[in-house]
Amino acid sequence: MSTSSPWPMHMLLTGSLLFGTASAQTPPRRLQPVSFSKVEITDDFWKPKMDKVATVTLEACIQQTEMKTGRIRNFEKVARGKGEKHEGIFYDDSDVFKALEAMAYSLKTHPSEGMEQKCDEWIEKIAAAQQPDGYLNTYYTLTGLGQRYSDMSMHEDYNNGHLIEAAVAYYNATGKQKLLDVAIRWADHFDSIFGPGKRHWVTGHQELELALVKLYKATDERRYLRLADWLLSERGHGYANGYTWRDWKDTAYAQDAVPVKDQREITGHAVRAMYLYTGTADVAAETGDTDYLKAMRRVWEDVVFRNMYVTGGIGSAGSNEGFTNDFDLPNEQAYCETCASVGMVFWNQRMNGLTGHAEYIDILERSLYNGALDGLSLSGDRFFYGNPLASRGQHQRREWFGTACCPSNIARLVASLGDYIYAQTRDGIVLNLFVGSRTQISAGGENVDLQLQSGLPWNGHHTLTVSPNRKTRFNIYIRIPGWLSGRPVPGDLYLPAAGQPRPPAPVFRINGEALAYTVHNGYAVIEHVWQPGDRIEWEFSLPVIRLTAQSNVKSNTSRIALQRGPLVYCVEGTDNEGQAWNVIIPPHAEFDTTSLLILDEPVVALTATVPVLTIAPDRASAQTEARKLTAIPYYTWANRGKTEMQVWLPTAIHDVKINY
């Protein structure tokens, strides 16, 4: 991968670097994300979505959990101890815990006495279902405790990883410890059975690893960190032999074919992989184990350079909910599970923290605004499990799913959005995402109030007001998004089509005065002695970029995708006389922007006059005519009923595949 800067040489002035030069022998210095609980979101784009999640989405999760499915009833049945039958699927406990986690985040940003009472009610039922030895799993408790820990693919540890995440989140939000005590008792129980000198265990669906690191941070009990590290070390050594594998086709399905430190390729189930590599990065951050970091970089390159959709979605195949062969990225058959895109956000944040490189936030941003956000309807109460990049009109958003991981997962991501905006370094403050917000961060030995105003994703104007307690020197690092460079996506899987001018580099002004800045690791480095009320202003250009795919991606031959700022666009039949498969985008097509209202969502749409192919009723002839084309942000499609849709658009008539 090229390390050359895309910026003019006059901007590469001498100045302090973000983290120095990390070598293979030197553990990377980390930046520390600022917790969502310290960030107030004021953004015109994201705040309405967070408000909707706090009300509509979480209410849908509660209704489904309590009244329309047996998820809470299973805990009640265990507590009654009357031998009642388990309802649903063996991993349904996890949905309760993910919903609780989302509710906890929401309580911090949207305090609600009723929501807190609901959480406490659920927590009482969960605690009552825990066994005397700390074991907690409604499926085996109701169907036969004698079978527990006999099948590594039965999600016992996955479920309780989500329990731990919910417990830590609720403790941080409310200070209440009851659920945290439940999680600690389960973790101690698991640790008493598995570990060095005890039983081997390879988690079938990874999640526990990252959760144990969270529990370690919450309790300062290093035993949990050691247990997470041990779970990583179990993979790739054949320790699964002798156990039942209910849903594994091969060990690569759950990333168990090769030891984690030796892994080079992405394999198997996409969500399991994301949770594994997030946990690996978490352990590496706490232990300084650079072998983990090297492996994570190798696998990350395999994902981003060869196996990622332009939307930031991953996992092309529904057959294994994951990866197949390099460059196998079909559009209409794309699986792209919402949870996998959520996992991409988690993993890339950790990689950014480990390395200080902005390219990981470029991928995080791509997955967040496109692959993940598409999983949540504009109304807040309908969802996508998979997120294809083309549709013949058969897709629609649903109220719920039998396997319902995605609704609560996207809810907890949006509710905790503040986690991904700011970070701290030893010498300053990092701005990663451009989301209007307020926070207070320590820098230069002083508390610094920050207020960001951002027009993204619709316009590129930004103002950051910096107010330290008193005059002080520190650096501010502002990410230069990849879509402003010649490489919107790291690597060469997706590149701007030939002939497009590169957007201009941003000009930063402090209190109206332009300043020179350095660029390092994708960040503009602004060195300054700051005073209360200082204002940094800048503008990001937002041209419409035509993206082409590498020639190995056969499904995108002679096709282009449209991107503006962080958003990928699609063509939907609703705006184009009911069709989306009959358009041609010639190289000379010029796109304009226009305002559009999709349900109650104001968006910037793209328009152009392009050839549209029409087939005669007898199919004996075809002709093209010029029509106005409208493209909308990908995350907004399928909110107005079933209709055709395409992200990758043909550039020649012979590539048009009309839906007869």
Q: Give the pLDDT band (50/70/90) at residue 621.
A: low
Phi, psi of 124 (to 5 degrees): -60, -45
Domain map (residue ranges) of the chain: 9-19+421-539, 37-240, 249-375, 558-655
What is the Cα Rg of the chain in Å?
Answer: 25
209 belongs to the catalytic site: no
Angle between helices 156-174 and 178-193 in degrees, nearest 10: 150
pLDDT beyond 80 at 9: no
pLDDT beyond 70 at 377: yes
pLDDT in tens, 270-280: 999 999 999 99
pLDDT at 624: 85
Q: Give the pLDDT band (50/70/90) at residue 620.
A: low
Give the integer Cα–Cα distance in Å for 228 and 78.
29
Question: CB–CB of 526/515 below 8 Å?
Answer: yes
Q: Give the pLDDT band (50/70/90) at residue 86.
A: very high
pLDDT at 14: 26
pLDDT in tens, 476-531: 999 999 999 878 999 999 999 998 888 999 999 999 999 989 999 999 999 999 99
pLDDT at 21: 30
Question: CB–CB of 494/647 below 8 Å?
Answer: no
pLDDT at 485: 81
pLDDT beyond 60 at 350: yes
Q: What is the reported pTM? A: 0.93
Phi, psi of 518 (to 5 degrees): -95, 160
* Lowest mean per-residue pLDDT among 340-354, 564-578, 621-635: 621-635
pLDDT beyond 90 at 23: no
Closest C-alpha among 161, 479, 227 to residue 348: 479
Q: What is the largest CA-CA distance in the chain?
A: 78
> Residues 156, 321, 537, 644: which is the catalytic one?
321
pLDDT beyond 70 at 245: no
Give the integer Cα–Cα distance in Å for 231 and 223.
12
Single-letter amino acid code for the residue at 286? E
pLDDT at 243: 52
pLDDT beyond 60 at 6: no
Give the integer Cα–Cα distance in Å for 545 and 501.
9
pLDDT beyond 50 at 28: no
DSSP, collapsed to helix, strand or coil, labels residue 609 as strand
Token pair, residue 71, equals 């998820």
Q: Mean pLDDT across the stretch 206-215?
A: 98
> Residues 61, 405, 406, 570: which is the catalytic one?
405
Strands, E assignment, 16-68: 32-33, 39-41
pLDDT in tens, 303-316: 999 999 999 999 99
DSSP 369-404: IIIIGGGB-TTSS-B-SS--SEESS----BS--SS-
pLDDT at 17: 31
pLDDT beyond 80 at 650: yes
The fraction of the chain above a pLDDT of 70, given in percent, is 93
Residue 295: beta bridge partners?
none
Fold of 9-19+421-539: Immunoglobulin-like (2.60.40)
pLDDT at 11: 30
Closest C-alpha among 263, 330, 272, 337 to residue 300: 263
Give the integer Cα–Cα distance in Å for 271 and 258.
18
Question: CB–CB of 457/504 below 8 Å?
Answer: no
Cβ count within 10 A of residue 143 = 14
Q: Give the pLDDT band (50/70/90) at residue 645.
A: very high
The residues, ordered by sequence, that sit 6+ positions from 442 with a Cβ below 8 Å of its Cβ are 424, 448
The fraction of the chain above a pLDDT of 90, given in percent, is 85
pLDDT at 239: 87
Token pair, residue 517, equals 């800045």
pLDDT in tens, 544-558: 999 999 999 999 999
Closest C-alpha among 34, 53, 69 to residue 112: 53
Q: Mean pLDDT across the stretch 468-479?
A: 96
Which has the higher per-residue pLDDT, 617 or 573?
A: 573
Q: Give the pLDDT band (50/70/90) at residue 241.
A: low
pLDDT at 654: 76
Give the integer Cα–Cα distance in Å for 119 and 385.
25
pLDDT in tens, 134-189: 999 999 999 999 999 999 999 999 999 999 999 999 999 999 999 999 999 999 99
Q: Mean pLDDT across the stretch 325-346?
A: 97
pLDDT beyond 90 at 653: no
pLDDT beyond 70 at 12: no
Whole-number Cα distances in Å, 529 to 321, 399, 445, 450, 579: 51, 53, 13, 15, 57
Q: Is the peptide bond before 566 cis (omega within 30 degrees of 0)?
A: no
Give the integer Cα–Cα distance in Å for 529 and 653.
59
pLDDT beyond 80 at 441: yes
DSSP, collapsed to helix, strand or coil, labels residue 44 as coil
pLDDT beyond 60 at 251: yes
pLDDT in tens, 89-108: 999 999 999 999 999 999 99
pLDDT beyond 80 at 398: yes
Closest C-alpha among 311, 247, 300, 249 to residue 277: 300
pLDDT at 501: 87
* Lowest mean per-residue pLDDT among 481-490, 598-607, 633-642: 481-490
pLDDT in tens, 312-334: 999 999 999 999 999 999 999 99
207 belongs to the catalytic site: no
Token pair, residue 220, equals 């300062």
Question: CB–CB of 448/528 below 8 Å?
Answer: no
